[in-house]
Amino acid sequence: MNSALLVHRLHFAFTVTFHYLFPQLTMGLAPLIVVLKTMALRYKNETYNQSARFWARIFGINFVLGVVTGIPMEFQFGTNWSHFSRYAGGVIGQTLAMEGMFAFFLESAFLGLFLFGEKRLSPRAHWWSAVAVFVGAWLSGYFIIATDAWMQNPVGYERVADGSVQLASFWQLVLNPWAWWQYAHNMSGAAITGAFAMASIGAFYLLWGKYQEHGRLFVKLGVIAGCIFSLLQLFPTGDAQGRMVAHHQPVTLAAMEALFKSGPGAPLVIIGQPNVEERKIDNPILVPKMLSFLTYRRWEAEVLGLDAFPQNVWPDNIPLLYFSYHIMVGLGTVFIAIMLIALFLLWRGKLFGARWMLWILMLSLPFPYIANTAGWMTAEIGRQPWLVYGLFRTADGYSKLVSAGNGLFTLLGFMGMYTVLGILFLFLVRREIEHGPQSETLTPSGVPQPAAH
């Protein structure tokens, strides 16, 4: 791999990974905030309103960081991946431009109204502004997923004389079957982050012995939502996504599972390290025939291994792909276990007293972030060596005139900038959490602000 290509890949990988830490929480929290607002409207209980405002403050901080780290993503299609943009811009420009026109305007306009306008609006109108923010955030997600889905499974395009691809069918692009499952799986993943964040902060308050009423509400809502979405993450969304990969990208499936040899009754690797040089798994723990069953619903089904494909179409980093995938699936399984036990305790009325479970919920906060990141790494590393699957290689897509040195200069710049942003973010969120849901100070510029205690 020549070094300019490597720098441009790292550039996008680093900025997009950092970026997605923020939208996954805003997309996950948006529906939960709507639930809180709905309950506030219904039960006229101030706890719900205070809770909605508290989470809106957290949402606001995340939203700012999501926006400022999101702008570079749109730019990088042109700055770092100009040959790809020239090739595919006639198709994916559609979905990216639609995101701006339909989602960004909606979201930014109504977020302002939601954060600044509670006193000017009737409770019902304010509820509607929360719904509009939710719709904007989730629409935005769809357009991005539809863009990525086209790169995973290109549809609705035609080749033209200058070598680029152009749109042939708008509806095929927008209704790409890959996009539907990927969207469901991704949004459910974001909702898991939102639910765990809510349960985690709630558990923290209960263990701390402060804001008990809010803490119980957060834990309850977080656990119920977390349970629903952890299960949806596995079935049907994860299952369907996996079978989509098996159907359209069989070599990717083989690499994700580190299945080097084709054959009937393929085993599922639970733990083990892929040894690509020797074409085997080191220290394997296997479930016999499980992969065949999961993929084709038959124990003896034939699954194609890496040996069935020429090496120049293998994903170029099989160990990283394998680990990303296994971390995602492993954590997803742990989430289901945690949330089912917590839900059981909640049902029996014992959760708020079960300190061990509250500790687990509190400490589990980072793991949905890791799982979501690992999931995206699986999708994007799995697509390699293609930028557009089967059509256009990653190695052909970067900006040939932007040298490795210039790319490294800006990559380092982003690393420095994002380190500062990350520290500021943690500092501000920590303050919000410490000040708790009852602080009601009005803010100077209208920006969310906690009271000084």
Partner 1 sequence: MATIWFIIVAVMITAYVVLDGFDLGAGIIYLFVSKGSTERRMILRAIGPVWDGNEVWLLAAGGTLYFAFPQLYAAGFSGFYLPLMIVLWLLMLRAVGIEFRTHMENPVWQGFFDFIFWISSALLAIFFGAALGNVIRGVPLGADGYFFEPLWTDFKVGPQPGILDWYTVMAGIVALVTLTAHGALYVAIKTEGEVNRRARRIAIICWPVQLLLTCLSLAATYLVRPYVAQNYIAHPIGFLIPVLVFACLTIMIWAASKGQEKTAFIASSLYIAGMLVGAVFALYPRVLPASTDPAYSLTIYNSAAGRHGLSVGFAWWTLGAVLALGYFVFIYRMFRGKVSLEGEGY
Q: Is residue 406 near partner 1 by the rule CB under 8 A?
A: yes
The answer to whether the bond into 385 is cis (omega within 30° of 0) is yes
Strand partners, 388: 392
Residue that has been written with the tokens 């972030």 in this structure = 369
Q: Is residue 140 near partner 1 by the rule CB under 8 A?
A: no
Q: Is residue 69 near partner 1 by the rule CB under 8 A?
A: yes
Among 334, 336, 354, 421, binds partner 1 (CB under 8 A): 421
How many Å separate Cα 80 from the centre of its chain?
23
Residues, the chain: 453
The tokens of 117 are what?
A: 């306008």
Q: Is residue 67 near partner 1 by the rule CB under 8 A?
A: yes
SS3 letters across 224-281: HHHHHHHHHHHHHHHHHHHHHHHHHCHHHHHHHCCCCCCEECCCEEEEEEEECCCCEE
CA 143 – CA 164 distance, rounded (Å): 21
> Roughly what angle, to the nearest 10 degrees, separates helices 46-79 and 82-98?
150
- Residue 99 is given by DSSP the state I
Q: Is residue 151 near partner 1 by the rule CB under 8 A?
A: no
Among 57, 126, 220, 289, binds partner 1 (CB under 8 A): 57
Q: Which of 183, 152, 141, 191 is nearest to 332 (CA)?
A: 191
Q: Minimum CB separation from partner 1 for residue 147, in Å?
A: 11
Q: Is residue 360 near partner 1 by the rule CB under 8 A?
A: no
Angle (CA) 59-373-148 rounded to 5° is 95
Residues 269-308, one symbol each (x = binds partner 1 by CB under 8 A, - = not), give ----------------------------------------
From 182-190, 270-278, 352-360, 416-424, span contacting partner 1 (CB under 8 A): 416-424
212 or 443: whose CB is closer to partner 1? 443
Q: Minimum CB separation from partner 1 for residue 430, in Å?
A: 11
From 243-251, 280-288, 318-326, 400-408, span contacting partner 1 (CB under 8 A): 400-408
Q: Is residue 410 near partner 1 by the rule CB under 8 A?
A: yes
CA 388 – CA 386 distance, rounded (Å): 5
From 109-117, 342-350, 367-375, 378-386, span contacting partner 1 (CB under 8 A): 109-117
Residues contacting partner 1: total by CB under 8 A: 81
Q: Which of 382, 124, 417 is nearest to 255 (CA)?
A: 382
Q: Minimum CB separation from partner 1 for residue 225, in Å?
A: 24
Q: Is residue 450 near partner 1 by the rule CB under 8 A?
A: yes
CA 225 – CA 232 distance, rounded (Å): 11
Q: Minimum CB separation from partner 1 for residue 123, in Å?
A: 14
Among 90, 265, 272, 385, binds partner 1 (CB under 8 A): 90
From 158-166, 190-198, 280-288, 376-384, span contacting partner 1 (CB under 8 A): 158-166
CA 339 – CA 417 distance, rounded (Å): 36
From 40-48, 196-204, 375-383, 435-443, span contacting partner 1 (CB under 8 A): 435-443
CA 363 – CA 203 distance, rounded (Å): 9
From 58-66, 190-198, 278-286, 333-341, span contacting partner 1 (CB under 8 A): 58-66
93 or 265: whose CB is closer to partner 1? 93
